[in-house]
Amino acid sequence: MHSICLRILAIGAAVLPGLLAAGGVRAETSSLTEKINAYVGCINRLSERAYDSRERYFSWVGKKGPTGKERIIYGTYTIYDTADCKSGVEKANTLDPRNAELEAAASTYVDAVVALEPLLKDADDYYSQENYKDDKMAKGKALHPQLVAAWTAFATADAKLRSGIDVVQDMLAAEDLVNIEKEEGRKGRYHIQALMMHAKRLMRAQSTDKPDLAKITAALGEYEAATKAADSYAEQNKDSKIGSSFVSSAKSFLVTSKQLMRRVRDKVPYSDGEKMILNSGGGGWMVEGSPDRLMHDYNQLVESYNRGPGF
């Protein structure tokens, strides 16, 4: 069982710069930015850890739960404090523009992650203190269905919230790109935003349970063109603020995307050694052309973007 957790781009303060001249639109844009970034903040802080906790647990526990006869007992991970996420979402849900479906998804996410927090703390204490040696794994067996149910509810809520955020961010990204080109032309900021927009589309195309090779190939071609354009502009304009680390991350994601596409296209199986790494828990990113490596490289690209000059 592999964790699936993509970091999401926070929306910068300069979203839709061409629309910021009108006072009412300025306020609404700023409010929408605050609203979406509250949701994004929850996901980026809590989701990866929640999935890692599940992956660690199932690295040693079978589907039916612990027996007490396991050769190695790792326990699980706790997650970070959820109070800030809860208060942030409660505030964000009151902001305009109102979106009942998205706000409901955010509230459901909060409910799920808040329920998960004490359960993981209880499990972590139980296993780290080796209390299973005193009760013959009785509590571990009782906790198992509760953990499974909590992780399932969380994963469903996480996917729903991400989907809602995607819709809004896709709309904003497209409008932002149009306005940037109108105001500045195809310069550094344009190329960075275009690259990230196409990277997200490519990631989405390659992350489905039933990959569509035609869609992947089209998204890959668009992303490669955007990467080449950004790289070329950076080479010709050394003061463009398109950093070398950003370009390097963009190229790494491109390489991995191509490797995964070829695995799908050519039906290339994983070797026994690769399967062992993929199933080891946490090391799947080391396998070239794997979904785990794709997630790792995409997250690295997002981190590089977020460390940038604030585009």
Answer with the one of 164, 185, 206 that is the final residue of a domain.
Answer: 185
**Structural domain boundaries enclosing 11:** 1-185
Residues 162 and 266 placed together within one structural domain of the fold: no
Q: Do 143 and 267 lie in a common domain?
A: no
Evaluate whether 147 touches 57 at the Cβ level (below 8 Å). Answer: yes
How many Cα atoms within 13 Å fall on the side-chain side of residue 85?
Answer: 24
d(CA 186, CA 229): 10
Same domain, residue pair 117 and 150: yes
Within a 10 A sphere around the Cβ of 279, how many other Cβ atoms? 13
* Domain identity same for 279 and 191: yes
**Which pTM was predicted?**
0.74
Choosing from 185, 205, 221, the residue where a domain stops is 185
Q: Note whether 135 and 236 are same-domain residues.
A: no
Count of the separate structural domains present in the chain: 2
| Whether residue 246 sits in one domain with residue 168 | no
Burial 204-233 (b: 16+ CB within 10 A, else e): bbbeeeebeeeebeebbebbbebbeebbeb
pLDDT of residue 231: 95
CA distance 223 to 199: 6
pLDDT in tens, the chain (311 residues): 444 455 555 544 333 222 222 333 444 567 888 999 999 999 999 998 999 999 899 989 999 999 999 999 999 999 999 999 999 999 999 999 999 999 999 999 999 999 999 999 999 999 999 999 999 999 999 999 999 999 999 999 999 999 999 888 888 888 889 999 999 999 999 999 999 999 999 998 998 878 899 999 999 999 999 999 999 999 999 877 788 899 999 999 999 999 999 999 999 999 999 988 887 766 888 999 999 899 899 989 988 988 876 44
Q: Do 128 and 15 belong to one domain?
A: yes
pLDDT of residue 22: 32
Q: Are residues 179 and 81 in the same domain?
A: yes
Structural domain ending residue among the three candidates 185, 217, 234? 185
Claim to verify: residue 198 and residue 172 sit in the same structural domain:
no
Q: Does 150 share its domain with 213?
A: no
The confidence score (pLDDT) of residue 207 equals 85
Asked if residue 133 and residue 245 are part of one domain, the reply reads: no
Q: Are residues 124 and 195 in the same domain?
A: no
Whole-number pLDDT of residue 112: 98
- Say what the pLDDT of residue 16 is: 27
